[in-house]
Structure 1
Amino acid sequence: MPQPVEHDSPKAARILSATRELVFDHGIRKVTIAEIARAAGVGKGTVYLYWATKEDLLLDLVGRELVEGLNQVRRALEADPGLVRPGRLTALLLHTMLVPLLNQRLQAGDEDALRLMAYHTDSRDVFARAAPEALCTAVLDVLRQHGLVRKDRALSDQAYALHALLKGFFAVQTTAVFTGPPLDRDPGLVLAETVTTLLEGDSEPGEAVLGAAAEEVLAVFDRVCADIVEHLRSLAVGAPRG
């Protein structure tokens, strides 16, 4: 799977790490290049050697985290193609994608994170393909073709419902806002059972079906990651701009 380009200097890795910690603690708007440089132990000019603007640095960080999250899902699917079943796949996504910084900031109500995604038109278009609603549609389309999802409802309706479920579970997990009694078991299991009831049929798919479906879902993730990686490379200082 394509990987984000690595900067030659370990200073760049420190800058990215410092940026993540500061944004997680304070949000996007309040973090400055000067603060990032100070936390990373470098001068402001060093930051600009790698990223022309703060927005480019933040988009690079967000893109890297999205790619790593999808890579984790990919590795799990390669090891166990049975995870491609809708219920199990959504539980995997819940646990994996809770980690990326962007999702945490969005669920915390950080409107600046949304504006960041729209900073460049091409950034918005690229990251839109990695958005939950887009992935829900693309992945469910594959699973329907392999008989892993019921076809008595429109794909658009199913994708909308799945996205709404994921968003709700993400929100509860990331903001710790829960008005009912605490769960005594893994929320991922609750999500898996809900999605299984909502989307899966009664037939038991064979290993060949699961393997073929997993391979196509992996291809969806690969295309999304390739788009993001290509865009991250365009953010590097000195890279040609469109």
Structure 2
Amino acid sequence: MSIRNPLSRDPLPREGSPPSVEDVILDAARSCILDFGLRRTTLAEVARRAGVSRPTVYRRWADTRAVVADLMTREITAVIPTFSAEESIHRQLVDAVIHVSTNVREHSLFVKILHSDRELFTPYILERLGTSQKAIIDQVALAVSAGQQQGSIRSGDSRHIAVMVLLMAQSAVQSAAMVAKELPGQSLTQQVRNAIGAYLAPDNHTPTRGDR
């Protein structure tokens, strides 16, 4: 039994299937951002690289930031794993959070945007949840509910717990560079693992060496 990504569509083309027009355009946008940065990426250049007309792009996205928002959602949801109810959901969820946050922290696209266009992320830090954040919350909430039934995850509102997991992981991703001298790479990853593992542990759980 698997707990699958709640998004109704696969964010990447399925193996053996031709890519959709949207994915071709998003691939072109990704290429532009990596080459020029967000500020110098235009819808005209995205259309040219995608090999489609400008109206084809404009019909789908109003501006470059809208394209980038969908691109980020695709890149993030592509690394959200599934869970097996036959194994410890607690362990799988902690591993998944580390997997996703590490992938995002080291992802070439996010590194480029964080270094050159950090303000793009500001609304999703201070004002509102983005599509990819909602997708993560949905997936984590499903896993938390399954883990609670299994007895491997603490009691409480599964969605509230999922939001807190997102906040913890997101903070570590966004602030990794700031604390790099104090808490470099692998040490940061281990501390995030410890924090989320302890937070999700069942109420009557006594930490052991194996939990670390």
- Regarding TM over 0.5, the answer is yes
Find the residue that maps to 1:129 and give its secondary structure.
helix
- Structure 2 match to 1:200: 201
In structure 1, list runs of 5 or more residues that go unmatched: 117-123, 205-242
Deviations 1:43-81 (A, max 9, x none): xx62433552354644553343234222xx23xx46x94
- Structure 1 match to 2:175: 172
Match among 22, 29, 32 for residue 19 of structure 1:
29
Q: Distance in 2 between matches of 1:160 and 1:32?
A: 34
Whether 1:31 and 2:38 are equivalent positions in the alignment is no
Alignment of 1:145-156 (within 5 A): 145-151=149-155, 155=158
Between the two structures, name the one with larger relative contact order (CA 8 Å, sep ≥ 6): 1
Find the residue that maps to 2:186 and give its secondary structure.
coil
Change (3 A) 1:114 1:54: farther
Change (3 A) 1:179 1:12: closer
Amino acid at match of 1:140: V
Amino acid at match of 1:26: G
Q: CA deviation at 1:166?
A: 0.6
TM-score where L is the length of structure 2: 0.59
Q: Distance in 1 between matches of 2:137 and 2:19?
A: 36
Q: Distance in 2 between matches of 1:180 and 1:5?
A: 36
Q: CA deviation at 1:194?
A: 1.9
- Structure 2 match to 1:92: 99
Comparing both structures, which one devotes a greater share of its residues to helix? 1
Please say if residues 92 and 188 of structure 1, whose CA atoms lie closer than 8 Å, have aligned partners that are also in contact. Answer: no
Find the residue that maps to 2:152 and give its secondary structure.
coil
Please say if residues 152 and 201 of structure 2, whose CA atoms lie closer than 8 Å, have aligned partners that are also in contact. Answer: yes
Amino acid at match of 2:72: V
- Structure 2 match to 1:129: 134
Please say if residues 47 and 57 of structure 2, whose CA atoms lie closer than 8 Å, have aligned partners that are also in contact. Answer: no
Change (3 A) 1:170 1:107: farther
Amino acid at match of 1:146: Q
Change (3 A) 1:125 1:68: closer
Find the residue that maps to 1:191 and give its secondary structure.
helix
Amino acid at match of 1:32: T
Q: Distance in 2 between matches of 1:161 and 1:12?
A: 32
TM-score where L is the length of structure 1: 0.53
Q: Distance in 1 between matches of 2:168 and 2:99?
A: 14
- Structure 2 match to 1:48: 55
Q: Distance in 1 between matches of 2:137 and 2:114?
A: 15
Please say if residues 154 and 201 of structure 2, whose CA atoms lie closer than 8 Å, have aligned partners that are also in contact. Answer: yes
Aligned residues: 184
Amino acid at match of 2:37: H
- Structure 1 match to 2:210: none
Q: Distance in 1 between matches of 2:116 and 2:150?
A: 37
Q: Distance in 1 between matches of 2:26 and 2:20?
A: 10
